[in-house]
A and B are shown apart, each in its own frame.
Chain A
Amino acid sequence: MMSYAIEVDDLRIDRGGREVLHGLGFQVPRGSVVGLLGPSGCGKTTLMRALVGVQIVKSGTITVLGHPGGAPELRRTVGYATQNPAVYMDLTVRENLRYFAKVLGAPRGDIERVIEEVGLGSAADQVATSLSGGQLHRASLAIALLGGPELLVLDEPTVGLDPVLREELWDLFHELARGGTTLVVSSHVMDEAARCDRLLLIRDGELLADDTPRGLRDRTGTEDLDKAFLRLITEREEAQA
């Protein structure tokens, strides 16, 4: 019954007076890392906002961990990191974490754990304004990790990070997933897609594919996920023509 962390059915969302998501439907198994892929402006962020309950939804249903998306029960169990780092720029990393840990009711020990996990140990007492772009992103990610949420919704968490750090974060994501956490991670970098258990390909507010990376390669007959994505787009356009 509770095998899915997320179930979305016929989700429609309007933004700025026009529909940006046109009847999306998919399921996310618990304990998996799901990649949300698609070009900028395709509706990835809108979908993520809907999953965490801060987006006005026009129609359709979202069920997250057995509750309607955005339900008060989910506010401790869903971690969210926005694309632009949402941290208090005039506080240090540790002060930011201390505040959000209090709000989330996370144990105090969590602060040191998440600092360690995102590798910000040396910058923990730096004011956020003095951090680099990559460090800011990691600080924002660290906040999402507080309290050990069951579902993590991460909007482009690895943007602007060097390859080594990016690799470390993906290792962390898989480690969390092994521990039962479900992760929804958006990206527009295809080489990250290969590291996901499942992929949701979105284009112009529609779901192009919902498959494993292997399945996607087999279906399109190419080893390159970038090419696979392109092939799916041409297929769809030919079908519509």
Chain B
Amino acid sequence: MNVSITLATANRILTQLRHDKRTIGLMIVVPSLLMILLRYVFDDHLVFDRIGPMLLGIFPMIVMFVVTSVATLRERSSGTLERLMTTPLGKLDLLLGYALAFTVAALVQVAVVLTISLTWLNLDVSGPLWVLVLIALLDSLLGVALGLFCSAFARTEFQAVQFLPALVLPQFLLCGLLVPRDQMSDWLRWISNVLPLTYAVNAMQELTEHTEITGTLVRDGLVVAGFGVAALVFGAATLPRRTA
């Protein structure tokens, strides 16, 4: 691992993003738009206050998952990955570069959604705001890491895009957003216990219910971060220098 190569990689990815104005626009506008829709579809402050923060955790993860898996697949198919593999760049340099760059992008995304939610949509969050931002960033980091990991198993863009419904939607169903987890049957709850999004959503829930930082919140944050790091390390392991 080499810090200056990692930073150069993050900077390169952000430069690529800067050239792609439409993607930036979509990344920032889509979550905010969904949040606004959500607020007016339910048109009920209690429901919005319960669900809103959870979605603040889910949106960045989904967006980052898609963006990352497509970006790395592109790196593979364009031959730039093969070229990088002949240079001193370490696999972890590349993955951390992606994680870093997209976390910066996620920060902008979360800042915009949060500002709109807190001002215009009157979202009520009991816990400290910085923790909410931190959890949202961890969630987006998780999305980046999972996207990197999954792209290792996708050979085509078609496959990559379908990893979203395959990997994210089951978590979405089981994370406690649609049906509280204690109302699920045991086997479903057990599955949800090993899925990272469960902890991401649970952390956001804690923030809406408690004004202080609870032990559960800290645990949830650590679990999400742990999943992210594990996915990055596995992602590096699935990135071979030599191919057939």
Instruction: Tell me the A residues contacting B by CB distance below 8 Å.
Output: 14-16, 49, 52-57, 70, 72, 75-76, 78, 80, 82, 84-91, 95, 99-100, 102-105, 127, 143
Question: In the complex the two chains form, is B82's CB within 8 Å of A54's CB?
Answer: yes
Complex alpha-carbon distance, A91 and B84, angstroms? 16
Give 26 CB contacts A-B under 8 Å.
A15-B244, A53-B86, A53-B241, A53-B242, A54-B82, A55-B244, A72-B88, A76-B88, A80-B83, A80-B86, A85-B79, A86-B82, A87-B80, A88-B12, A88-B16, A88-B78, A89-B78, A91-B12, A91-B16, A95-B12, A95-B15, A102-B4, A103-B84, A103-B88, A103-B89, A127-B19
CA distance A104 to B93 in the complex (A): 13
Is there contact, CB below 8 Å, between A90 and B16? yes
- Residues of B with C-beta under 8 A to A127: 19
Q: In the complex the two chains form, is A104's CB within 8 Å of B88's CB?
A: yes
Inter-chain residue pair count (beta carbon < 8 A): 80
* Residues of chain A within 8 A of B119, CB atoms compared: none
Instruction: Judge whether B88 and A86 touch: CB under 8 Å.
Output: no
Q: Which residues of the other chain, B, contact A76 by a CB distance below 8 angstroms?
A: 87-88
Chain B contact surface mostly? helix
How many B residues face the partner with a CB closer than 8 A? 25
Task: Report whether B20 and A90 are in contact in the complex, using a CB–CB cutoff of 8 Å.
Answer: yes
Q: A88-B80, A89-B78, A90-B16 are in contact. Are A105 and B88 (CB under 8 A)?
A: yes
State in angstroms the CA–CA spacing of A90 and B243 once bound together: 26
**Which of B19, B89, B242, B244 meets A91, CB within 8 Å?**
B19
CB of A2 to closest CB in B, whole Å: 21
